[in-house]
Amino acid sequence: MKTVLSTFAIISLMLIHDISLCQSVISIRLGPTTGQDCNVASYIPDTPLPTYPDMVAAAWTYQGEFNLWRPLFKFNLRGVPARAQFLNARLSLFGNPYPVSALHSGANKSYLRKVTSAWDHNTVTWETQPDFSTVNQVELPESTSPTQDYLDIDVSALVEDMLLDSTTNFGFVIMNRFENIYRSMNFASSDCIDSSKRPLLVISYMPNPPTGIAPLNENIPAGYDLSQNFPNPFNPVTNVDFDIPAQSFVSLKIFDQLGREVSTMVNENLSAGSYRLQWDGNNFGSGTYFIRLEAGSKMITKRMMLIK
């Protein structure tokens, strides 16, 4: 019996080990190349606040006048492979050690909510702030110290929605549960001088098996390139050629004329080489489509016409 149990334990450990090897984790620290953040404030309703060391959710006064603050932030999720099996997402927000605004204070229980419309940190203001949803909102409990960190917040439901459709990844907003004075939550932003305090998103997923895409030959191209598809116009299949001069993470996607993503051809690391793929438009209507290659620091787009 002991031998049977020992064998069973060993097999179980091997299975757990194999599962853990398959799981992948991506950590995204908010910064200029990994996302955006800003604040919007009611006392300056037409003024953008794109560079600020704090992300502040507050109801306070300024020169005797009542005002509200809300932070917006979003992460670039392109590093998660298309069609990967999403497991979970954890967000860590850090109390700002170098604050400009009020620290955590008051009855500051707040909510982390999904933003549902587009915004840009350079232009968004209180008057133009985006919409949000309370569906799957996450509670941030009242703070217990002025610089408290909120670590490993489970934002799985919110991030899963963002990954299902990359065109609707508009990020998060933090709002006090009651927006009346005096209460504040203050977290370090992507502009905090201590980069280790900037917001951190950790996503776990099970990657799909590699697609088996291989270069056409052993020649190494001189640069990144996306050729015009051929034939063009086409019905319903067309060829797509592209070049990768060095091992790179490659995204090759199809968009309709309204800018909506309709198909992902590649979303993975590829070795250097020249590649040819086919796109089958059998399930799509006639019209103009755009194919976009993103690799290295390059983004190249070509227009193609499907005629049925």
Answer yes or no: do 70 and 189 share one domain. Answer: yes
In-domain check, residue 65? yes
CA–CA dist 240, 114 (Å, integer):
36
pLDDT digits (tens, 9 = 90+) for 182-237: 999 999 999 999 999 999 999 998 876 555 677 888 899 999 999 999 999 999 99
Q: Is residue 19 included in any domain, yes or no?
A: no
Distance of CA 267 to the CA centre of its chain: 14
Average of per-residue pLDDT across 125-141: 97
**Same domain, yes or no: 282 and 137:** no
Q: Do residues 278 and 184 share a domain?
A: no
Q: Does 55 share its domain with 172? A: yes
User: What percent of the chain shows pLDDT beyond 90?
Assistant: 70
Q: Where are the alpha helices (DSSP H) in 23-168?
A: 156-164
- What pLDDT does 16 receive? 38
Which residue in 35, 80, 77 sits closest to 55, CA to CA? Answer: 35
What pLDDT, in 10s, does the model give residues 38-71? 999 999 999 999 999 999 999 999 888 999 999 9
Q: Quick one: pLDDT at residue 9?
A: 41
34 in a domain, yes or no? yes
Distance between CA atoms of residues 111 and 174, nearest Å: 6
Tell me the pLDDT band of 7, cut-offs 50, 70 and 90: very low
Number of domains in the chain: 2
pLDDT classification of 79: cutoffs 50, 70, 90:
confident
Domain enclosing residue 195, as ranges: 25-206
Q: Is residue 168 one of the residues assigned to a domain?
A: yes
User: Is 244 in the same domain as 299?
Assistant: yes
Residue 217: inside a domain, yes or no? no
Q: Identify whether 271 is part of a domain.
A: yes
Lowest mean pLDDT among 142-146, 197-201, 277-281: 277-281
- 5 contact partners, CB below 8 Å, separation of at least 6: none
- Of the chain, the percentage scoring pLDDT greater than 70 comes to 90
pLDDT of residue 2: 46
